[in-house]
Structure 1
Amino acid sequence: MRLLTLPFLNRTPRRGQKRKRVVSAWRGRTLTLGVAAGTVLVLMAGGWWAWSAGVPHRLAGYAGQAVFNASAAAGLKVGEVFVVGRRETPRPELLQALDVRPGMPILALDIRKARERLLTLPWVHAASVERLLPDTIIVHITERQPLALWQNRGAFALVDRTGRVIPQRDLGRFRDLPVVVGEDAPAHTRALIDLLDTQPGLRDRVTAAIRVGGRRWNLRLDGRLEVRLPEVDPERAWLRFAEFEREHRILERDVVLFDLRFPDQVIVRRAGPSEETRIEARGRDT
């Protein structure tokens, strides 16, 4: 995973300014946290009194904002955001979802709501948000892994292992992924990929898979050979095709159709007008 640092505050003194006296990091952090904690405790006590005394809600809200402002004045404000795991999520979208601003009170960030907003981003599968006082926010995200390109009504989108569709404008980087076609194809893509993975030698030669009637798949290999899988037990049919390929080099022949929908026979069609052959399960031509 990649660590991305988004510095909000420039801590390097400008030319001509005097450099501050060096204080150990632990001592500086302890002092800041101590002052901030004392300030916040005093104001929280005031807020508790306002609530228990029945002060109107609006005034109680002012008290809460005063706590945040005082904490920021004491050093508890956003200075840096560290993001772990970002590869595809655009930086502006991520920062907008976090809803953080440089110098804002770090205690004002609602961790739960920030995480919920991150999960609405197209590429984000899982997320966590933490505060590291006095001034750092740490974000961990797990992004979705695209498995295939989904073609639907002339448009393309990415599909991940959960069947989630990932909108993406620039698809050039994903052109090596197999294409799945069909209205319900995304929901069945993971099962399809798992099926293809059982025969690694053939998997990478599958260029497209068409969902038929919401029940089964037709595979396109090398862009020319169509392999029709059955609705029931497609794993066995895919294994049968792999065995035929090893024994007869089907992909090197002028075969354009290999129909495995029937358990007791295979229908093979060669290039040309209606040149079709039926092969029984035992392997004899009929």
Structure 2
Amino acid sequence: MRRMMPKTARATRKKGQPRRRVRPLWRQPSLVSIAILAAAATSGGGSWWLWQTGWVQKLAYTTKESLVVKTAQAGFSVSEIFVEGRIETEKAALLASLQLDRGAPILSFDLKQARARVISLPWVRTAVIERQLPNVIHLKLEERRPLALWQNKGRFSLIDTRGNLIPLSDISRFNNLVVVVGRDAPRNTAALLDTLAVAPELARKVKAAVWVGERRWDVQLENRIDVKLPEANAIAAWVQLAEMQDRHQLLDTEISVIDLRLPDRIIVRQAPGGEARSYRGGAKASIPSVKPGSQLNRRGIERNT
């Protein structure tokens, strides 16, 4: 079927004017390139030469760029970026990591490289980046959750729920978190806080914890009392201490150490000059001539073995 020219267009051409010449298909640049490639393919040496000189790669790149520009002109360009899950990550830092401007061709946006840049941000644990054609980039973040402060060799670092460091230069706004000490303390902190959470009122008094002997915790309360948790059945021991606090207001007295390592009793050691007491169930009995336990006489946290 022959294409009919609209009447308005036919009327504009006057008689006697030369007809516009149409370039033959075989003279189109793209077809010329294809013909050259086909000819080269028939001779092994020619194709090798084209590849080695980079002519093939350059042609492919030019063709791709031309196609991308045409798709952008057709409406396939970035007009919106939707972000889901952003809490701590700064907006400016996130946009800078995407390296994406409004109006950029959406098909030329490298999702893999963009994701690598995004997950390198301090707060980002993982990210999913998707194109939603014709003009939307959707970014879903999973951020790290701050859990505690790790004191190591005199320096403090913020750790997340998996025990990994969150590389921040300023952690001053997280001073309310529990401080943990010990080489492998970070990877055991989540389990400790789960244990403490079974007695919420008591857990709120915890200021720091030391990972002792790679097997158990010493917990320091806000009134400078050290609580020695056992290696096994730490939850039961912690609940027992909470019950003793309810019955005897144990933490309101002048004591320095509460030892929960024995399964059938709680041993309490008072400050120097005081006496130690042993609590069995609901009864309590004084134990004379027991030396006071260890105490913290200087700032910081000391390891009790």
Provide, for residues 97-156 of structure 1, a one-character-per-residue CA deviation record: whole Å limited to 9, x for no partner. Answer: 323233321111122332343223221133222223333222121222212122222222
Matching residue of 1:177? 177
Q: CA separation in 1, counterparts of 2:34 and 2:247?
A: 81
Q: CA separation in 2, counterparts of 1:128 and 1:154?
A: 37
Q: CA separation in 2, counterparts of 1:185 and 1:154?
A: 15
Q: CA separation in 1, counterparts of 2:276 and 2:85?
A: 53
Aligned in 2, Cα 1:64/1:262: closer, same or farther, shift over 3 Å? same
Matching residue of 1:222? 222
- 8 A contact 2:277–2:284 mirrored in 1: no
Aligned in 2, Cα 1:247/1:60: closer, same or farther, shift over 3 Å? same
Q: After alignment, is 107-116 or 216-225 more displaced?
A: 107-116
Matching residue of 1:30? none
Q: Greater relative contact order (Cα 8 A, min sep 6): structure 1 or 2?
A: 1
Matching residue of 2:276? 276
Where do residues 1-286 of structure 1 align in structure 2 (5 Å cutoff)? 56-273=56-273, 275-280=275-280, 283-285=283-285, 286=287
- 3-state secondary structure, aligned to 2:130: strand
Letter in 1 for 2:233: D
Q: CA separation in 1, counterparts of 2:243 and 2:34?
A: 75
Aligned in 2, Cα 1:75/1:243: closer, same or farther, shift over 3 Å? same
Q: CA separation in 2, counterparts of 1:273 and 1:153?
A: 33
* CA radius of gyration, larger in: 2
- 8 A contact 1:206–1:221 mirrored in 2: yes
- 3-state secondary structure, aligned to 2:76: coil
- 8 A contact 1:163–1:189 mirrored in 2: yes
Q: CA separation in 1, counterparts of 2:253 and 2:164?
A: 38
Gaps of at least 5 residues in structure 1 are 1-44
Provide, for residues 7-64 of structure 1, a one-character-per-residue CA deviation record: whole Å limited to 9, x for no partner. Answer: xxxxxxxxxxxxxxxxxxxxxxxxxxxxxxxxxxxxxx99999999777234323322
TM-score of the superposition, structure 1-length normalised? Answer: 0.75
Q: CA separation in 1, counterparts of 2:162 and 2:250?
A: 33
Runs in 1 of length 4+ with deviation above 6 angstroms?
A: 45-55
The count of aligned residue pairs is: 243
- 8 A contact 1:263–1:281 mirrored in 2: no
Q: CA separation in 2, counterparts of 1:274 and 1:245?
A: 19
Q: CA separation in 1, counterparts of 2:34 and 2:249?
A: 80
Letter in 2 for 1:105: P
Aligned-pair identity (%)? 41
Q: CA separation in 1, counterparts of 2:32 and 2:140?
A: 35
